Structure formats: structure tokens, C-alpha cells
Amino acid sequence: MSMYDTTQVSYLIRRPGGCGLVRSADLPIRQGCLAKRPRCEHAHDMTAHHGAHAHNHGHTHTHPGTQQPDWDAFAPLLEQGAELHTPVYDQAIAWLRERFAASDGSVRRVLDVGSGPGVVTCLLARAFPDAEVVAVDGTPALLERARERAARLGLGGRVTTVHAELPEGLDPATIGTADLIWSSKTVHHLGDQLAALRRLAAALRPGGLLALGEGGLPTRFLPRDAGLGRPDLPARLEAIQAERFAEMRAELPDATETVEDWPGLLTAAGLTGATSRSFLLDLPAPLGAAGRDFLRNELVRWREAAADRLDDGDLATLDRLLDPDDEAGIMRRPDAFLLTAQTFHVAAREE
């Protein structure tokens, strides 16, 4: 029995001509009864998020009244983040190449499920030069970015996209089968994570690998005491993000509580030899321009998510960190750094 069975959760309705969904009166609702994930229906100004002085121009990264990400609004940040985290993905992909080399396995078809803007899709295409690589995602604007990137990098002949709503779209009739399925930071957006892994496992060819990017370490970016406001602001932001994450999961269709033992879940999905490794992104102080720009955009998002849960002192600290003209701001201070790790869990379908 799930703790959500008797919870009062918000019923979501579409607002004609507006952005996504609005909250109506709280109504009792059965577990898993929420409508499909919200979608924004108006055009987004993608360029508004670019550049060192980018801020959100009043547009938020979640659909109003929910904790569900607005992926259109996220697009620039996803792309910038994936580019910055390329050293992490390169290490994880090198590990996969070693795994295939050790088993003499050939890689002819790769699926990047929840590809986002296709940064990793293109890294996969480079790393597996004999493979057709397919970006699978539910957000058309992100798939468009993936196609543009592949064309720009001369990979357009081998990179294709499939628009699919998950988990239903994880059907071999929609996505086909593959020797390698990569899915990073996506399964946690699906209500029943084990069911999704079972579907992913079913799309693997015998001997194929599923590489799941889930978990790791939160991003660290300032000393504990940064000489600005109360120490430990990053830890308080992390705690709020953890609360928001749990709320986001509880809202998902078919939300199911799962012990997030990823190797155990891959095994329960019928795969063998589940192994986990974590890879570091270590950009020490003084951080370069690209790292600062990403961090500032992340801080905009974190401030937005935490605004109603932080005290005035912490909000004032965040405002100073965001001010591009402030010596103590993230764009100028000498002690800003970026340190994080992402974990990948890999398991095989038996020959």
C-alpha cells in the first residue's frame, strides 16, 4: 500500500491558451490518477536563457502549481549543463566501450532515452562509429536541438530522433531494439521506475547493455563559509531540492514508491552483472567563464525553487550571488568552483 493512496493531491486542469496546467481545488485522487505530464502550449524565448547575464525573465522552470519541469524552459540549461559535464560522459562512455571490447560485442544501434538536447547522443555517435544512434524524448524542442547539433557536428547521417512519451513509448514497436541503451537522469521522471526499467531491458538485444545515469553527488560550488550571509547555504538549497524532488515524484502518473537500489532494480528487470561507477566533474577555483555562467543559471533555478522556503537572509545572499556586478557574486568571486559526480549503473541482457 503506498503512502500516496489517501493523500489529497492537486487535480490538474488545462488552462486554454495558457502555459500548461493550473491548480484547481484540492481533490481526493487515487494513486496514479494524475493526467499526463504537463506541457507548455505557448512559444518560449529560448534565447532569453543564454549568456552570462541570463536570468529567467519571470518564466519559471516548472509548470505552475506543480513540481513538474517545463522541459521547453529547461532546454538551454540542459544543453549548457550537458556540454559542461562532457568529461563525465566521456569517462562513462569509455567504460562502456571497454565493456563491449571485453566481450567482443558489436554496437550497431544505440538508444539515448530521455536524450534532452542530444549532447550525449552525439558523444555516443562519436564513440560508436559503426552505430546508428537514436535520441528518444518527449519534448519536440529538445529533439530539434539534438538534430541541429548532430548536423552541425557532421553526424546527421547516423543520428536520428524519435518523439515518444514515456513510459508507453518504450515499446519496441516505437523505439526498436538496441545493443546499447543509455538513459541519464530520465527514469526518475517516470512514476513506476521498475516498470520502466523492465521495458528498457526488453528493448535490449541479447548481449546488449543498459547504462543508467541516476544518482551521484550534489553539486558543490562555494566554501562552506563563503563570507556572505549564514554559512552552509548550499546545504540548505540541497535539502529544499530533495523535498521538491520527492514532491515531483509523488505527482507523477503511476507514482510508485521504490527503493532506489539501482543495481537491484536492474537485476529485478531481468538483467545481469549490474555494476556501478561514478565519475567526477572537478572544475577548481578560479572557475572559468563557462562554469560560472552555468552556475549562475543553476542558481537562478535553485532560487526560484527555494524562494518560498528560504529565510530573507538566505534570499538576500542568493541575490548578491546572482548579481553580475557584485564582487561577491558568482560571476566574479575568486573562490567559486564546480565539483560533482554522476553515477552510472550498467547491466547486460544475457546472450
Ligand X SMILES: C[S@@+](CC[C@H](N)C(=O)[O-])C[C@H]1O[C@@H](n2cnc3c(N)ncnc32)[C@H](O)[C@@H]1O
Q: Which residue is nearest to ligand X (CB)?
A: 138
Give the integer Cα–Cα distance in Å for 344 and 71: 23
Whichever of 36 and 230 has its CB closer to ligand X, that residue is 36
Whichever of 77 and 226 has its CB closer to ligand X, that residue is 77
Give the integer Cα–Cα distance in Å for 221 and 215: 18
Task: For residue 117, give the DSSP letter.
Answer: T
Least distance to ligand X, CB of residue 169, Å: 7
Contact at 8 Å (CB) between 335 and 295? no
Residue 78 found at the interface with ligand X (CB under 6 A)? yes
Residue 115 found at the interface with ligand X (CB under 6 A)? yes
Residue 20 found at the interface with ligand X (CB under 6 A)? no
Residue 110 found at the interface with ligand X (CB under 6 A)? no
Site for ligand X in 293-332 (CB under 6 A): none
Binding mask 121-140 for ligand X (x = CB under 6 A): ----------------xxx-
Per CB under 6 A, the list member of 9, 142, 181, 203 interacting with ligand X is 142
222, 225, 227, 230 alpha-carbon torsion, rounded to 10°: 110
Residue 279 found at the interface with ligand X (CB under 6 A)? no
For residue 303, what is the enclosing H or E element?
helix 289-306
Residue 189 found at the interface with ligand X (CB under 6 A)? yes
- 3-class DSSP state of 68: coil
Give the integer Cα–Cα distance in Å for 209 and 124: 13
Number of residues this chain uses to bind ligand X (CB under 6 A): 19
Site for ligand X in 146-175 (CB under 6 A): 165-166
Whichever of 95 and 231 has its CB closer to ligand X, that residue is 95
User: In this chain, which stretch among 93-101, 108-116, 288-296, 318-326 interacts with ligand X, using CB under 6 A?
Assistant: 108-116
Q: In angstroms, how far is the first alpha carbon of the chain from the final one?
A: 37
Per CB under 6 A, the list member of 37, 44, 61, 158 interacting with ligand X is 37
Q: Beta-carbon neighbour count of residue 1 at 10 Å? A: 7
Contact at 8 Å (CB) between 179 and 107? yes
Give the integer Cα–Cα distance in Å for 108 and 124: 12
User: In this chain, which stretch among 54-62, 127-135, 182-190, 311-319 interacts with ligand X, using CB under 6 A?
Assistant: 182-190
Residue 105 found at the interface with ligand X (CB under 6 A)? no
In terms of Cβ atoms closer than 10 Å to its own Cβ (0-12, 13-18, 19+), residue 11 is middle
Per CB under 6 A, the list member of 38, 76, 105, 116 interacting with ligand X is 116
Alpha helix segments (H runs only) across 155-288: 172-175, 193-202, 233-251, 262-268
Using CB under 6 A, list all residues that contact ligand X: 37, 71, 78, 82, 114-116, 137-139, 142, 165-166, 184-186, 189-190, 213
